[in-house]
Amino acid sequence: MDSKYIFLSILISIIILLVFIYQSKYEKLKRLTTILIIGFFSWALSRGTPNGITGGVIMFIVITGFIIYIWTKMDKEKLTNSSKESFTKKTLKPLNKLIKSFAI
């Protein structure tokens, strides 16, 4: 086999793996994969510069910190939305029927 075909097949298999990971329901796996992808891209971008390791590490820390900040805000928003939705009419109807059955 030619090295081009091996590289192409590895690239396609990695893309297929990433698609399966991001379509799954496991949020921690998605987040870990995102941080690893950011790490690889920051390493690849800073590899050719004179101070590559320092620049790549700083870029990785800044981007990863920003993404983790966004994730924590999203998690807090999900918690507040789920607590608001828990006391809707849909959840209070069975309780209302139960109270009416004991009141008679």
pLDDT at position 21: 87
- Residue 59 near residue 46, CB atoms below 8 Å: yes
* pLDDT above 70 coverage of the chain, percent: 83
Name the residue ranges covered by the structural domains of the chain.
3-103
pLDDT at position 76: 87
Distance in angstroms (rounded) separating the CA atoms of residues 19 and 13: 10
| More confident: 15 or 45 | 15
pLDDT digits (tens, 9 = 90+) for 73-101: 988 888 877 666 565 656 667 777 777 77
pLDDT at position 70: 92
CA nearest neighbour of 64 among 79, 44, 42: 42
Average pLDDT over residues 15-19: 89
Q: Does position 69 have pLDDT exceeding 90, yes or no?
A: yes
